[in-house]
């Protein structure tokens, strides 16, 4: 498998097989991803690998909090406070594609709620990855982290695994830090579901569209 194949094969998977992921595969993924670039080689990533009983206990605590009406508060703003075009329309189209695949109507608020709650279980994947960094780090480290996260996901493809990055898991940093004994002043960047894709699941049957290169690129060439 080459890099282009891995890039095109990677997708956000929301249903996984009930099959444990071998620890050596997780280590291989993280070792490969550790070669991602970072400003002055800061390597700001800190990774928690959560499985089994610990994962079940943590996700139940998060989901219970979510269902109580507590929306949580992330350590940093991920999305804009006010959506503008064309991003507003892309966001809406993304949600509609998911709900359409699952047959969830706009009126069915309970199923919408249940589907969103699945984020906090990492879509029942056997592995929940959580990514932290020191709060002293600045915006550039988020850029570094993006390259690291992409490297994790591409390496997962090579290992025959599927993933889904989860900004939603950053909504409850106080719960996660307490459960995993991370410092209060650390920064929870995001989470990720990792496991073997359930290829029969309807939710995994669609792909979100990508822009043509010509729509986001300008050439300045002699």
Tens digits of residue pLDDT in 105-122? 989 999 999 999 999 999
Q: Where are the domains positioned within the chain?
A: 3-207
Per-residue three-class SS string for the chain: CCHHHHHHHCCECCCECCCCCCHHHHHHHHHHHCCCCCHHHCCCCEEEEECHHHHHHHHHHHHHHHHCCCCCCCCCCCCCCCCCCCHHHHHHHHHHHHHHHHCCCCCCHHHHHHHHHHHHHHHHCCEEEEEEEECCCCHHHHHHHHHHHHHHHHHHHHCCCEEEEEHHHHHCHHHHHHHHCCCCCEEEEEEEEEECECCCCHHHCCCCCCCCHHHHCCCCCC
* Full-model pTM: 0.95
Mean pLDDT of the chain: 97
Q: What percent of the chain has pLDDT over 70?
A: 100
Mean pLDDT of 48-53: 98
Q: What is the pLDDT of residues 124-183, one digit of tens each?
A: 999 999 999 999 999 999 999 999 999 999 999 999 999 999 999 999 999 999 999 999
Confidence of residue 99 (pLDDT cuts 50, 70, 90): very high
Please check the confidence at residue 77 and state whether its pLDDT lies above 90: yes
CATH superfamily ID and name for 3-207: NADH Oxidase (3.40.109.10)
Please check the confidence at residue 79 and state whether its pLDDT lies above 90: yes
pLDDT at 1: 86
* Cα-based torsion angle of the residue sequence 65, 69, 70, 71 in order, rounded to the nearest 10 degrees: 110
Q: What is the pLDDT of residues 29-46, one digit of tens each?
A: 999 999 999 999 999 999
């Amino acid at each position: 498998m080459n890099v282009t194949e891995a890039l095109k094969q990677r997708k956000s998977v929301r249903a996984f097989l009930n099959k444990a992921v071998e620890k050596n595969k997780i280590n291989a993924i993280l070792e490969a991803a550790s070669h991602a670039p970072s400003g002055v080689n800061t390597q700001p990533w800190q990774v928690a690998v959560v499985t089994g009983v610990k994962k079940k206990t943590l996700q139940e605590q998060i989901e219970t909090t979510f269902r109580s009406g507590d929306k949580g508060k992330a350590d940093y703003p991920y999305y804009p406070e006010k959506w503008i075009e064309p991003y507003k329309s892309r966001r809406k189209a993304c949600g509609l594609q998911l709900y359409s695949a699952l047959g969830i109507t706009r009126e069915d608020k309970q199923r919408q709620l249940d589907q969103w709650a699945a984020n906090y279980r990492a879509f029942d994947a056997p592995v929940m990855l959580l990514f932290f960094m020191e709060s002293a780090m600045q915006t550039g480290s988020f850029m570094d982290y993006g390259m690291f996260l992409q490297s994790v996901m591409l390496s997962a493809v090579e290992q025959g695994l599927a993933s889904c990055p989860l900004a939603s898991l950053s909504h409850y940093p106080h719960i996660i830090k307490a459960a995993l004994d991370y410092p209060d002043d650390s920064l929870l960047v995001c989470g990720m579901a990792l496991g073997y894709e359930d290829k029969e699941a309807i939710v995994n049957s669609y792909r979100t569209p990508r822009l043509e290169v010509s729509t986001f690129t300008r050439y300045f060439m002699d």
